Amino acid sequence: MSAITFYLIDDPADDAFWYFAAELCAERAEADQPTYVVCANLAHVEGFDDYLWSYRGDRFVPHTADPEDAAHAPVFIGCDPEAGGFARVINLSAAAIARPTEREQIDEIVPTGEQPRDEARSRWRQYKAIGATITHRQIEAVRPAET
């Protein structure tokens, strides 16, 4: 049965949603955990792909958006919530992930705003109805505090 975590991003930074998703991708890549990142559409895929190349100068996230290279990178970015073959999924779209019971971990990244939160509540209910273990975390700041 899937473990599903909803990350509710409350950080007001313009790129908070993208930054948090990139950090989660980096963690998965560093742990050698193949992960599928589901975006809302092709423009979203291309935008996140570009963001991963430049979001931090000190951290590289090996990734691809090319289905032919998916087996060669720990992070694959696409826009099909129906896609199978990945135990770990990071969801950046407003759609529920298909066949969640076939996944080990689903991470739902939820940006600020009433509409994204309403959409997340709907996904929460869908996942809960099939008996998934669900947790949530409020993310006040996506970047570490400077010391």
How does pLDDT run across 110-137, given as a tens digit for each residue? Answer: 999 999 999 999 999 999 999 999 999 9
Alpha helices, DSSP H, located in the chain: 16-30, 42-54, 114-129
Cβ-contact 55, 44 below 8 angstroms = no
**pLDDT < 50 regions, the chain:** 147
Structure confidence at residue 116 (pLDDT): 96
Structure confidence at residue 147 (pLDDT): 46
Query: For the whole prediction, is pTM greater than 0.85?
Result: yes
Q: How many CB atoms lie within 10 A of CB 130?
A: 11
- What structural domains and CATH numbers belong to the chain? 3-139 (3.40.50.10110)
User: Could you tell me how far CA 23 lies from the centroid of its own chain?
Assistant: 10
